[in-house]
């Protein structure tokens, strides 16, 4: 018999004492921006390029000394840290937006430091970060949906790979990218059904089964790639990508216009899915039931919710969304399938679920952090050679590590996550 | 009873029938993949309906050739004209199996304590960092140099593992997430060391992150002369397996480990500090991975790149699962997967993608780790409840 322990304070943030972790982390990062990038920064002006030619509202470029910009940004971040500390003293929680704004300021400062004496193409970087974040966001949404009902989904990597592979192959063979997209979602959903039934019905350890599904999918796609796609790329692995759609008026906005509203359909689908999943989870009866199953399956069962069925379908639907994320890798970005092209994004998505506290909007923000880090590494090599980009790539993982260690005391994970439910 | 430990016990007590079925089924499904996508077989699809015999015959031939090449590349090459090339395959299997066994033992130790150490890669990479530093940046007499490099590798890996255990014990952070993050951080750190002049970048090296070759005094001695690449790693692996067996089955600390793995609440009630056990268990788990790291770092004669980690930390999970987390089982599982690695090139030569071995490997372990799957398919009886 399993016994689900209900931790006091699980359902309400206000019962948990705020910790000093948020203000400390904020202070650390503002210190880095203020001192390393600001006072000890690199000489030279930096140009923040805010709008493209032909935008409806043309905004002039901002040109400032790199050190001055970082001193200002660092000071603003420090104010955020002080505000957070003040809230903590008064035993209140720091709202999420403070961390988000501080992160945004820090990112701007980092860009200004890297590009001292150079130009920062803000829209380009933001747009690339979004495109790179989309597979992570969708993978994490899938992971979030299954964790919310109490099934740990380590197999996101496998789901992304399946989606990427099927989208490329079906898209090429049928000459229709929409079929590719649907095939990606269906195949990934079927894979998730395997995960769900083994975990829910047969009570196999969820983490072990997830890892093995990853290994299996990596094996199968690697094999098919080298035995089939590599030699007949034209017939099987040449799908092309969806067209870029510019949304009228919105795409003319400065900064965010070209970044967010001149994109492929996969990006727009993500914009729709994130609030949709949030709405269903937190504003509908369906979502309430799902969360009940994830928090306290015994109680949910008692009031007549079918725990097994709920888990099965949420994991499956989550898989379909993760499959869409895989499709975004191939027909939504690169245009062909490559060996192990998910390259660990599934594991990043797993971390993003936790970093984003199992909440779709925060999860998307956390995924953007990783997307930003990926594009930054590429771009930083160009503008500022010799910068140890390894450390830039490391930052999101470190942040996740700090966050996981920091959140853990607050019991924010769905309480029954990872535990099989045996009716009895 | 704790469900997780019940499941683990079910995996551990896999019956021989089920293991045999799993292995056969893995190879059978692998054969299907091998045949269906083979070029020669694909060429016969045009006449599939008019002449199905041809397709079947070609498919059969492909499968026989494929496994034949695997045997030739991993056990013994019967068509060779001299004894060296005849017996080289089996020595390659032993060489490639060694790190898998050592790292597999590490992951297995975690499983026995109820910890899932997905961080093999990170721990291995940190061990490599230590071993490479000692082997390329220090000058010591023969023998001592190698031993010191091994000790430092183990210490570095242990430190990384202990940190994971500490975070889990102190904050309750799940070890799976922590170890995955540590994998990336360690890989980035290692690349940075390899990239930076004065740290590990080779003397007079170009822009590529690559270290000097390990000093001759630190390289693992070869077992069978210069004709074979086999080094003493396989002996280290066997010693490690003995140590693992003694530690887990005979020592007090192993008893404590197993007790926490079986039922952490009962262990706590019996006065065992579960938190401290987690830290020690993660450190011990990583120590075995550290031996594998030294094996990778000191077994080469050329400079090292970050690809030297060869995904061993991750393969170790499948090795540990296949070996049922027992010393003997892990040795056998390591040998099997080592043979897969050794046989890959000769499969590639005859046009069968060796990646099919990855599928077989995953399937076998999946069937073994998911007892109900096989039981449902073959209507095997459920083991009697104790």
pLDDT tens digits for range B322-376: 888 899 999 999 999 999 999 999 999 998 899 999 999 999 998 888 877 777 7
Q: What pLDDT band is residue B227 in, cutting at 50, 70 and 90? A: confident
Task: Out of A45-54, A182-191, A406-415, B253-262, pick the least confident.
Answer: A406-415
Best mutation target, B8, B359, B364, B371, to test chain A (most A CBs within 10 A): B359
Residues of B within 8 A of A204 (CB-CB) are: 7, 369-373
Taking the Cβ of residue A209 and every Cβ of chain B, the question of whether any pair is shorter than 8 Å is answered with yes
Q: How far apart are CA B346 and CA A44, in angstroms?
A: 57
Of A254 and B60, the structure prediction assigns the larger pLDDT to B60
Separation in Å, CA of B43 to nearest CA in chain A: 13
For A420, name the nearest residue in chain B, comparing CA atoms only: B3
Taking the Cβ of residue B199 and every Cβ of chain A, the question of whether any pair is shorter than 8 Å is answered with no
Taking the Cβ of residue B191 and every Cβ of chain A, the question of whether any pair is shorter than 8 Å is answered with yes
pLDDT, average across residues B80-106:
94
Quick check: B211 and B200 in contact, CB under 8 A? yes
Residue A333 has pLDDT above 50, yes or no: yes
Contact A204 B370 (CB under 8 A): yes
Of A58 and B277, the structure prediction assigns the larger pLDDT to B277
The domain locations on chain A are 134-358
Contact B192 A408 (CB under 8 A): no
Buried b (16+ CB within 10 A) or exposed e, A291-319: bbbbbbbbebbeeebebbebbbbbbbbbb
Interface of B with A in 311-330 (CB under 8 A): 314, 317-318, 321
Separation in Å, CA of A196 to nearest CA in chain B: 13
Taking the Cβ of residue B339 and every Cβ of chain A, the question of whether any pair is shorter than 8 Å is answered with no
Task: Out of A276-285, A293-302, A368-377, A409-418, pick the least confident.
Answer: A409-418
Q: How far apart are CA B313 and CA B123, in angstroms?
A: 8
Q: How far apart are CA A146 and CA A209, in angstroms?
A: 14
Of B8 and A209, the structure prediction assigns the larger pLDDT to A209
**ipTM above threshold 0.85:** yes
What pLDDT does residue A59 have? 73
> Helix, strand, or coil here: A276?
helix
Provide the token pair at A286.
């369906």
Residues of B within 8 A of A351 (CB-CB) are: 177, 180-181
Provide the token pair at B269.
């009630």
Q: Taking all residues of chain B, what is their mean pLDDT, rounded to a whole number?
A: 89
pLDDT, average across residues B267-282:
93
What pLDDT does residue A424 have? 62
pLDDT digits (tens, 9 = 90+) for B16-48: 778 888 899 999 999 999 999 888 888 888 888
What pLDDT does residue A10 have? 36
Quick check: A164 and A330 in contact, CB under 8 A? yes
Report the residue from A226, A344, A393 with minimal CB separation from B355: A226
Tokens 């799908």 -> residue: A239
Quick check: B228 and B84 in contact, CB under 8 A? yes
For B351, name the nearest residue in chain A, comparing CA atoms only: A227
Which DSSP symbol is given to A150? T
Task: Out of A296-305, A373-382, B291-300, pick the least confident.
Answer: A373-382
Residues of B within 8 A of A227 (CB-CB) are: 37-38, 352-353, 355-356
Q: What pLDDT band is residue A124 in, cutting at 50, 70 and 90? A: confident
pLDDT, average across residues A256-269:
88
Nearest partner of A367 among A291, A263, A274, judged by Cα: A274
Of A22-26, A57-61, A343-347, B150-154, highest mean pLDDT: B150-154
pLDDT, average across residues B110-121:
92
What pLDDT does residue A12 have? 39
Quick check: A158 and A218 in contact, CB under 8 A? yes
Task: Out of A150-164, A241-255, A302-316, B153-167, pick the least confident.
Answer: A241-255
pLDDT digits (tens, 9 = 90+) for A183-236: 999 999 999 999 998 888 888 888 888 989 999 999 999 999 998 888 887 888
Quick check: A394 and A402 in contact, CB under 8 A? no
Which DSSP symbol is given to A47? E
CB proximity list for A53: less than 8 A, separation 6 or greater? none
Contact A409 B359 (CB under 8 A): no
Q: Taking all residues of chain A, what is their mean pLDDT, rounded to a whole number?
A: 86
What pLDDT does residue B8 have? 57
Contact A211 B118 (CB under 8 A): yes
Taking the Cβ of residue A190 and every Cβ of chain B, the question of whether any pair is shorter than 8 Å is answered with no
Tokens 């092309």 -> residue: A240
Taking the Cβ of residue B7 and every Cβ of chain A, the question of whether any pair is shorter than 8 Å is answered with yes
Nearest partner of B297 among B161, B183, B196, B152, judged by Cα: B152
- CA torsion sign for A91, A95, A96, A97 is negative
pLDDT, average across residues A76-105:
88
What pLDDT does residue A403 have? 75
Q: Return the percentage of chain A with pLDDT > 90, whole number.
A: 42
What pLDDT does residue B370 have? 80
Separation in Å, CA of A88 to nearest CA in chain B: 20
For A208, name the nearest residue in chain B, comparing CA atoms only: B369
Residues of B within 8 A of A419 (CB-CB) are: 3
Separation in Å, CA of A172 to nearest CA in chain B: 18
What pLDDT does residue A409 have? 45
Best mutation target, A21, A219, A343, A409, to test chain B (most B CBs within 10 A): A219
Report the residue from B8, B173, B185 with minimal CB separation from A405: B173
Interface of A with B in 42-101 (CB under 8 A): none
Q: How far apart are CA B227 and CA B230, in angstroms?
A: 9
Q: Return the percentage of chain A with pLDDT > 70, whole number.
A: 92
pLDDT, average across residues B242-257:
94
Q: What is the 3-state secondary structure (H, E, C) of B96-161?
A: HHHHHHHHHHHHHHHHHCCCCCCCHHHHHHHHHHHHHHHHHHCCCCCCHHHHHHHHHHHHHHHHHH
Q: How far apart are CA B77 and CA B80, in angstroms?
A: 6
Taking the Cβ of residue A231 and every Cβ of chain B, the question of whether any pair is shorter than 8 Å is answered with yes
CB proximity list for A185: less than 8 A, separation 6 or greater? A163, A320, A321, A323, A324, A327
Contact A347 B1 (CB under 8 A): no
Q: How far apart are CA B171 and CA B165, in angstroms?
A: 10
Report the residue from A211, A212, A350 with minimal CB separation from B177: A350
Separation in Å, CA of B83 to nearest CA in chain A: 33
Provide the token pair at A135.
């597979």
Quick check: A346 and A156 in contact, CB under 8 A? yes
pLDDT, average across residues B161-175:
89
Q: What is the 3-state secondary structure (H, E, C) of chain B?
A: CCHHHHHHHHHHCCCHHHHHHHHHHHHHHHHHHHHHCCHHHHHHHHHCCCCHHHHHHHHHHHHHHHHHHHHHHHCCCCCCCCHHHHHHHHHHHHHHHHHHHHHHHHHHHHHHCCCCCCCHHHHHHHHHHHHHHHHHHCCCCCCHHHHHHHHHHHHHHHHHHHHHHHHHHHHCCCHHHHHHHHHHHHHHHHHHHHHCCCCCECCCCCCCCCECCCCCCCCCCECCCCCCCCECHHHHHHHHHHHHHHHHHHCHHHHHHHHHHHCHHHHHHCCCCHHHHHHHHHHHHHHHHHHHHHHHHHCCCCCCCHHHHCCHHHHHHHHHHHCCCCHHHHHHHHHHHHHHHHHHHHHHHCCCCCCHHHHHHHHHHHHHHCHHHHHHHHCCCCCCCC
For B372, name the nearest residue in chain A, comparing CA atoms only: A202
Buried b (16+ CB within 10 A) or exposed e, A218-232: bbbbbbbbbbbbeee
pLDDT, average across residues B51-72:
92
Burial class of residue B160, CB neighbours in 10 A (0-12, 13-18, 19+): buried
pLDDT, average across residues B145-170:
95
CA atoms within 13 A on the CB side of B75: 8
pLDDT, average across residues B247-254:
94
Task: Out of A218-222, B77-81, B109-113, B186-190, pick the least confident.
Answer: B77-81
Task: Out of A384-388, B6-10, B166-170, B244-248, pick the least confident.
Answer: B6-10
Q: How far apart are CA B127 and CA A22, in angstroms?
A: 32
Quick check: A73 and A33 in contact, CB under 8 A? yes
For A392, name the nearest residue in chain B, comparing CA atoms only: B188
Provide the token pair at A200.
């829910």
Taking the Cβ of residue A224 and every Cβ of chain B, the question of whether any pair is shorter than 8 Å is answered with yes
Separation in Å, CA of A194 to nearest CA in chain B: 10
Taking the Cβ of residue A406 and every Cβ of chain B, the question of whether any pair is shorter than 8 Å is answered with yes
pLDDT, average across residues A275-301:
93
pLDDT, average across residues B86-92:
93
Taking the Cβ of residue A248 and every Cβ of chain B, the question of whether any pair is shorter than 8 Å is answered with no
Residue B244 has pLDDT above 80, yes or no: yes
Q: Would residue B143 be called left, alpha or beta, if left means φ above 0 and alpha means ψ between -120 and 50 degrees?
A: left
Q: What pLDDT band is residue B186 in, cutting at 50, 70 and 90? A: very high
Nearest partner of B164 among B153, B177, B152, B179, judged by Cα: B179
> Helix, strand, or coil here: A136?
helix
Separation in Å, CA of A233 to nearest CA in chain B: 14
Report the residue from A216, A223, A354 with minimal CB separation from B356: A223
Residue A81 has pLDDT above 80, yes or no: yes
Residue B378 has pLDDT above 50, yes or no: yes
Taking the Cβ of residue B12 and every Cβ of chain A, the question of whether any pair is shorter than 8 Å is answered with no
Residue A373 has pLDDT above 60, yes or no: yes
Using CA atoms, how far residue A113 sits from A71, A330, A372, B236, B361, in Å, is 11, 33, 15, 49, 48
Separation in Å, CA of A39 to nearest CA in chain B: 25
Q: What pLDDT band is residue A2 in, cutting at 50, 70 and 90? A: very low
pLDDT digits (tens, 9 = 90+) for A342-360: 888 999 998 888 888 889 9
Quick check: A71 and A34 in contact, CB under 8 A? yes
Q: How far apart are CA A277 and CA B65, in angstroms?
A: 51
Burial class of residue B82, CB neighbours in 10 A (0-12, 13-18, 19+): exposed
Q: Would residue B324 be called left, alpha or beta, if left means φ above 0 and alpha means ψ between -120 and 50 degrees?
A: left
Taking the Cβ of residue B365 and every Cβ of chain A, the question of whether any pair is shorter than 8 Å is answered with yes
Taking the Cβ of residue B8 and every Cβ of chain A, the question of whether any pair is shorter than 8 Å is answered with yes
Of A42 and A35, the structure prediction assigns the larger pLDDT to A35
What pLDDT does residue A121 have? 86
Q: What pLDDT band is residue B3 in, cutting at 50, 70 and 90? A: low
Buried b (16+ CB within 10 A) or exposed e, B1-17: ebbbbebbebbeebeee
The domain locations on chain B are 15-74+352-381, 99-338
């Amino acid at each position: 018999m399993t016994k689900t322990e209900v931790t006091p304070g699980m359902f309400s943030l206000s019962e948990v004492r705020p910790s000093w972790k948020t203000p400390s982390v904020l202070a650390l990062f503002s210190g880095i921006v203020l001192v390393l990038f600001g006072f000890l920064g690199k000489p030279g002006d930096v140009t923040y390029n805010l709008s493209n030619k032909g935008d409806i509202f043309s905004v002039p470029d901002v040109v400032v000394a790199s050190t001055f910009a970082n001193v200002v940004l660092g000071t603003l971040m420090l104010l955020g840290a002080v505000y957070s500390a003040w809230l903590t003293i008064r035993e209140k929680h720091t709202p999420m937006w403070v961390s988000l704004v501080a992160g945004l300021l820090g990112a701007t400062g980092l860009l200004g430091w890297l590009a001292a004496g150079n130009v920062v193409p803000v829209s380009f970087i933001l747009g690339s970060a979004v495109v790179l974040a989309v597979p992570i966001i969708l993978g994490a949404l899938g992971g979030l949906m299954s964790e919310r009902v109490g099934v740990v989904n380590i197999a996101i990597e496998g789901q992304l790979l399946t989606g990427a592979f099927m989208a490329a192959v079906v898209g090429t063979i049928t000459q229709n990218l929409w079929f590719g997209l649907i095939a990606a979602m269906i195949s990934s959903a079927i894979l998730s059904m395997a995960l769900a039934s083994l975990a829910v019905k047969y009570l196999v350890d969820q983490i072990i089964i997830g890892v093995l599904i990853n290994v299996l999918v990596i094996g199968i796609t690697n094999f098919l790639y080298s035995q089939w796609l590599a030699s007949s790329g034209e017939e099987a692995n040449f799908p092309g990508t969806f067209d870029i759609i510019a949304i009228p008026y919105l795409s003319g906005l400065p900064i965010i216009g070209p970044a967010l509203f001149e994109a492929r359909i996969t990006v727009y689908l993500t914009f729709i899915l994130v609030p949709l999943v949030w709405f269903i989870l937190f504003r509908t009866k369906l979502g309430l039931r799902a969360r009940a199953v994830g928090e306290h399956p015994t109680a949910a069962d008692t009031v007549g919710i079918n725990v097994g069925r709920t888990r099965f379908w949420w994991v499956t639907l989550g898989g379909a969304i993760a499959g869409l994320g895989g499709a975004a890798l191939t027909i939504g970005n690169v245009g062909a399938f490559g060996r192990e092209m998910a390259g660990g994004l599934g594991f990043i998505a797993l971390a993003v679920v936790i970093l984003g506290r199992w909440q779709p909007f925060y999860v998307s923000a956390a995924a953007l952090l990783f997307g930003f880090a990926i594009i930054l590494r590429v771009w930083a090599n160009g503008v500022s050679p010799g910068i140890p980009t390894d450390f830039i790539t490391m930052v999101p993982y470190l942040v996740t590590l700090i966050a996981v260690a920091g959140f853990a005391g607050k019991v924010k994970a769905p309480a029954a996550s990872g535990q099989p439910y045996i009716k009895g | 009873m704790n469900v997780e430990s019940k499941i683990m016990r079910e995996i551990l007590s896999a019956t021989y029938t089920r293991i045999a079925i799993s292995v056969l089924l893995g190879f059978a499904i692998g054969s299907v993949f091998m045949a269906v996508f083979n070029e020669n077989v694909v060429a016969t699809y045009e006449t599939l309906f008019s002449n199905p015999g041809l397709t079947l015959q070609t498919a059969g031939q492909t499968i026989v050739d494929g496994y034949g090449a695997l045997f030739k590349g991993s056990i013994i090459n019967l068509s060779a004209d001299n004894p060296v090339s005849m017996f080289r395959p089996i020595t390659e299997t032993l060489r490639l199996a060694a790190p898998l066994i050592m790292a597999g033992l590490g992951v297995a130790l975690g499983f026995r304590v109820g910890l899932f150490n997905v961080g093999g890669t990170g721990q291995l990479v940190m061990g490599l960092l230590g071993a490479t530093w000692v082997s390329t940046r220090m000058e010591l007499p023969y023998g001592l140099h190698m031993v010191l490099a091994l000790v430092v590798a183990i210490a570095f890996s242990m430190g990384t593992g202990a940190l994971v255990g500490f975070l889990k014990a102190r904050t309750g952070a799940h070890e799976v997430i922590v170890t995955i993050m540590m994998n990336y951080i360690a890989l980035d750190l290692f690349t940075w060391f390899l990239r930076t002049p004065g740290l590990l970048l080779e003397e007079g090296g170009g822009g590529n992150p690559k270290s000097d070759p390990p000093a001759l005094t630190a390289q693992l001695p070869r077992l069978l002369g210069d004709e074979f690449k086999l080094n003493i790693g396989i002996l280290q692996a066997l010693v490690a397996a003995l140590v693992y067996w003694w530690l887990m089955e005979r020592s007090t600390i192993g008893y404590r480990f197993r007790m926490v793995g079986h039922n952490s609440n009962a262990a706590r009630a019996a006065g065992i500090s579960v938190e401290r056990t987690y830290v020690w268990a993660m450190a011990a788990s990583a120590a075995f991975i550290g031996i594998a790291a030294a094996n990778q770092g000191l077994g080469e004669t050329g400079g090292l790149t970050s690809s030297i980690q060869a995904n061993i930390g991750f393969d170790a999970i499948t090795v540990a699962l296949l070996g049922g987390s027992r010393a003997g089982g892990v040795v056998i599982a390591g040998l099997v997967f080592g043979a897969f690695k050794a046989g890959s090139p000769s499969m590639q030569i005859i046009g069968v993608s060796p990646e099919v071995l990855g599928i077989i490997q995953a399937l076998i372990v999946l069937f073994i780790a998911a007892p109900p799957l096989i039981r449902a398919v073959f209507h095997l009886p459920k083991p009697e409840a104790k």
